[in-house]
Amino acid sequence: MSDTASTAASAAPATPAARVAEPMVRAENVMKSFGSNTVLKSISLEVGRGEVMCIIGPSGSGKSTFLRCINHLEKVNGGRLFVDGELIGYRQRGDKIYELHPKEAALQRRDIGMVFQRFNLFPHLTVLENIIEAPQRVKRQGRDAAVKRATELLARVGLADKAKAYPASLSGGQQQRVAIARALAMEPKLLLFDEPTSALDPELVGEVLDVMKNLAASGMTMIVVTHEMGFAREVADSLVFMDGGVVVEAGDPRQVITDPQHERTKAFLSKVL
Amino acid sequence: MSDTTSTGSARSGAPSPSGASPDPITAIPLRHPGRWIIAVVLVAILALFVYDAAVNRPTYDWPSVAKYLFDRRVSQAVLVTLELTVLSMIGAILIGGLVAVMRLSPNPVLRALAWVFVWIFRGTPVYVQLVFWGLLATIYKTITIGIPFTTAAVSWTTQEAISVFWLAVIGLALNEAAYMSEIARAGILSVDKGQDEAAVALGMTWGQTMRRIILPQAMRVIIPPTGNEVISMLKTTSLVTAVPLSTDLYTRTRDISAETFNPIPLLIVASIWYLVITSVLMVGQYFLEKRFARSTRFIDVGGNPVAPTAAAAGASAGEPASGDATNERGGA
């Protein structure tokens, strides 16, 4: 699996040497609280370029919150979070930290794609319009170019014939594949998946995981909050087990799954496997 | 599962010759004598009232009603009332939409401003507000547009600049805008939070998200009560006499009756016209609501977060194509 990661990194477009050394995501003691409720106590981890990281953990462990912090849907209260070497949500000058203007935060987000548990497709737009909306409005792409790219992406997720359909007429699995295509249309350098298969009927999970596997094989950097142990074992380069707002255990997925070191990891895995 | 489906379809499709078709039930319908009694009594009372009104009550003065119903002064007044309604509603929708967006904006100054606007214009009677607008020329005698700290300026007297008709429109529109803003706000809040997050995660700004994603979906909730507000506005225009504007339907019929000393037939004339316009508006509202209820594309992720899974289950059950697509891609 580390092979895939390295080939993916070399296949990626040339970046300045200094940046290649920098991991795609670097979290340093990230802390997040809602009022007096501290959801993330101190999260430190790194995700390399072209790597796939799966985050597992019981509900309420803070894994979704951490994911939402990465593209600044939630504001980090402590520590530092870098994506591609860039501090997320803030600007640091000397030892002073400045909040970013919403427009600057929006600029950071356009390079970070997100796929939601409940798809969150725009129900008033067709599948094609869902995909070309952001490239047109945010990246100021021409309609023709955006449509061409969207058509390619739809073919890639196996939904070339659904361009004119409305989301409500699609199955959950199809909706989630459209959501992935929509995120890809912004050509993100990082894709975040927040329990992408949890809202799906069991027989529809496979089609979404297939698309994600293809994405991973193509060298996309991905962080996936999931309960799909099979996917984690097969595709992930690293597996993180979170509980109570901290990283309890992290490492090679097969090793963590077959030979967990911590009691809490053992207890959790015995319930989900 | 597949067994059940196949037998089900066979039964509904072509019944097999061997299987006897079930006997249709021919039951004797349940009687409802109470309904008949109530209906007969009510119809009798109504007939008595109509007969009495037509024959025994000369003060209704039906010949005068017929005479004034299509009087030119009255039909002109109907037109003025319609103009007042349409113009005030357009103003109210524009201002109300703006106030609703301000109310939900991240900017605390705009939020406070919007709150104060709704507080004042919803908190005082529309009649009082209309009297105030009528006194605008007394309070502000001239309107001057100029550059501060210079002498360059253009000036009008308020009375010349704004006619009584437009004062009435402004008064009605601002009052209605307070209510429209609450309707629009409810519509915006009805859109699922996930829509906002999805748009923001794609890098869209607050304004883009509002304009392109949230407002189009909020329309489904906003349009039906707006229809009600139009009907309500039609009737509220009868208060413009407070400004005082005297060319609307109610004031005009009252002015005519002041000359004839015969108010009742003209009240009936005004009522008939209000009812006619309201009926037309109701038909319009019916079709508008039907249209918005029909478009299934709106019945989805937007309002109810549970909906997509239900829709997904339905779609997947009746659509084997999705499975094929997966296999194809798996092979490739």
In this structure, what CATH number is given to the domain that contains residue B183? 1.10.3720.10
Q: Is A114 on the interface with B (CB under 8 A)?
A: yes
> Which residues of B are less than 8 Å from A134 in CB distance?
199, 202-204
The confidence score (pLDDT) of residue A254 equals 93
Mean pLDDT by 10 residues, chain B (332 residues): 44 56 89 95 97 92 93 95 96 96 92 97 96 91 84 82 93 97 95 95 92 90 90 96 94 94 94 96 85 52 38 39 38 34
Contact call for residues A131 and A152 (beta carbons, < 8 A): no
Q: Tokens representing B252?
A: 């005009």
Domain that holds residue B226: 59-294
Give which of A224, A225, A138, A236 is closest to A187, Cα–Cα. Answer: A138
Q: Is residue B314 part of a domain?
A: no
The confidence score (pLDDT) of residue B148 equals 81
The confidence score (pLDDT) of residue B302 equals 39
Report A:79-98 residues touching B (Cβ under 8 A): none
Q: Is residue B5 part of a domain?
A: no
Contact call for residues A233 and A221 (beta carbons, < 8 A): no
Report B:215-234 residues touching A (Cβ under 8 A): 216-217
Q: Is residue B83 part of a domain?
A: yes
Regarding pTM above 0.80, the answer is: no
The confidence score (pLDDT) of residue B144 equals 84
The confidence score (pLDDT) of residue A8 equals 40
In this prediction, the residues of chain A whose per-residue pLDDT falls under 50 are: 1-15
Give which of A83, A75, A78, A79 is closest to A112, Cα–Cα. Answer: A83
Chain A residue nearest residue B296, CA to CA: A168
Q: Is residue B50 part of a domain?
A: no
Q: Is residue B321 part of a domain?
A: no
Is B325 close to A204, i.e. CB distance below 8 A?
Answer: no
Q: Is A234 on the interface with B (CB under 8 A)?
A: no
Question: Does the interface ipTM go beyond 0.90?
Answer: no
Q: Is residue B46 part of a domain?
A: no
The confidence score (pLDDT) of residue B292 equals 65
Burial of A82 (0-12, 13-18, 19+ CB in 10 A): middle
Instruction: For B55-121, give the DSSP string.
Output: HT-GGG-HHHHHHHHT-HHHHHHHHHHHHHHHHHHHHHHHHHHHHHHHHTSS-HHHHHHHHHHHHHH
The confidence score (pLDDT) of residue B325 equals 38
Instruction: For A53-112, give the DSSP string.
Output: EEEE--TTSSHHHHHHHHTTSS---EEEEEETTEESSEEEETTEEEEPPHHHHHHHHTTE
Distance CA A4, CA B223 (A): 54
Strands A246-251 and A238-243: antiparallel
The confidence score (pLDDT) of residue B331 equals 36
Chain B residue nearest residue A211, CA to CA: B329
Q: Is residue B158 part of a domain?
A: yes
Is B322 close to A204, i.e. CB distance below 8 A?
Answer: yes
Q: Is A272 on the interface with B (CB under 8 A)?
A: no
If one counts the domains in chain B, the total is: 1
The confidence score (pLDDT) of residue B248 equals 95
Q: Chains A, B: CB contacts under 8 A, how many? A: 147
Chain A residue nearest residue B195, CA to CA: A120
Q: Is residue B17 part of a domain?
A: no
Q: Three-state SS for B235?
A: helix
One-letter identity of residue A254: R
Q: Is A217 on the interface with B (CB under 8 A)?
A: no
Q: How far is A253 from chain B (nearest CA, A)?
A: 24
